[in-house]
Amino acid sequence: MAGIIIDGKAIAEKIRAQIKKEVEELKEKGIIPGLVTILVGENPASVSYVTAKQKTAHELGFYSVQENLPENVSEDELIKLIFKYNEDPKIHGILVQLPLPRHINERRVLYAIDPRKDVDGFHPVNVGKLVIGEPCFIPCTPYGILYLLAETGVQVDGADVVVVGRSNIVGKPMAILLMQKRKPVGNATVTICHTGTRNLAEHTRRADILIVAVGVPKAITADMVKEGAVVIDVGVNRIGTTPDGKAKLCGDVDFDSVKEKAGYITPVPGGVGPMTITMLMKNTLESAKAWAGLPSEVA
Ligand code: GUN
């Protein structure tokens, strides 16, 4: 029997409606959550992500600023801009879209962001807090996946979770979050697989929940999935262009075959993607509350 398709768009809409309501309530107190997104160069994927983030911020009633810097901007110029927003009281979240051009040291740039405005959760202060289970900014993609799992109602507590991919943005924080007793879901037994894993299918076939973030189109096929498993596909691979000029996308999971075997599965697009942007908004909202001295999930 075909698995249930997890509608990330619908779940994201529901959370966005809650955020919008909170933003309206904050406005009555004179607080407007502010987000700046900084884009360097014109990478088409990055342009499309940043545009979507700005559009959502606007729809939810945030104060939002878009900074577009040329591909050849110097590292010092970029850091100077970050320092400006570190000091700007209207801004509660600073996001530098990755990847950055090769001449820029990504780590130096991310470390320049005030950890109290680091809505991506990439600063080592937030990474450290995440690992020891303190309130902090949680990276948006794994944070969104926690909510997807919670909304779907699948059993995470005690489940065997296999995360394929060990990136700082998805794989590592995802594994840490799911092994913790954190809200909204956790307490799972987690295995991380990567390019050094000897027999990948042996691990993935054991997974009650399989989370894939490797950036390889259709890397996971039906024979690698347990009957009834929950399959979360983080991949967004551009595999061509549609007749109307839009990017043709495909995940890291071979959706057509795996959906026949999985209990639940996320589509690409419309699964994890909308949740990532939603959690960026949640982080910015929580940041604004923290800066105003109100109770917040990030402080
Ligand atoms: N590039 C791909 N994913 C992300 C993300 O979550 N945040 C930022 N800043 N850049 C990205």
Q: Are 152 and 12 in contact (CB under 8 A)?
A: no
Residues 203-233: pLDDT tens digits? 999 999 999 999 999 999 999 999 999 999 9
**pLDDT recorded at residue 130:** 98
Q: Where are the domains of the chain?
A: 29-115, 140-273
Which residue do the tokens 């054991």 mark? 206
Q: SS3 of 66, please?
A: strand
Q: What is the DSSP track for 217-242? A: TT-B-GGGS-TT-EEEE---EEEEE-
29-115 against 140-273: fold identical:
yes
Task: Measure 28 CA to ligand 1 centroid, in angstroms.
Answer: 32
One-letter amino acid of 289: K
Which residue do the tokens 């979050």 mark? 177
Q: Which atom of ligand 1 is nearest to the CA of 96?
A: 9
Cut 0.75: pTM above it: yes
Q: Which atom of ligand 1 is nearest to the CA of 140?
A: 6
For residue 100 and ligand 1, the question of a CB distance below 6 A is answered with no
Task: Measure 43 CA to ligand 1 centroid, in angstroms.
Answer: 13
Checking if the pLDDT of 1 tops 90, the result is no
CATH 3.40.50.720 fits 140-273, yes or no: yes
Q: How far apart are CA 107 and CA 13, in angstroms?
A: 33
Q: Average pLDDT of 234-261?
A: 94
Nearest protein CA to atom 2 of ligand 1, as residue = 98
For residue 279 and ligand 1, the question of a CB distance below 6 A is answered with no
Residues 72-107: pLDDT tens digits? 999 999 999 999 999 999 999 999 999 999 999 999
pLDDT above 70 covers what percent of the chain? 100
CATH 3.40.50.150 fits 29-115, yes or no: no
Catalytic residues: 53, 97, 120
For residue 50 and ligand 1, the question of a CB distance below 6 A is answered with no
Rg (CA), the chain: 19
One-letter amino acid of 203: H
Nearest protein CA to atom 1 of ligand 1, as residue = 98
To test the ligand 1 pocket, which listed residue (98, 137, 141) has its Cβ within 8 A of the most ligand atoms?
A: 98
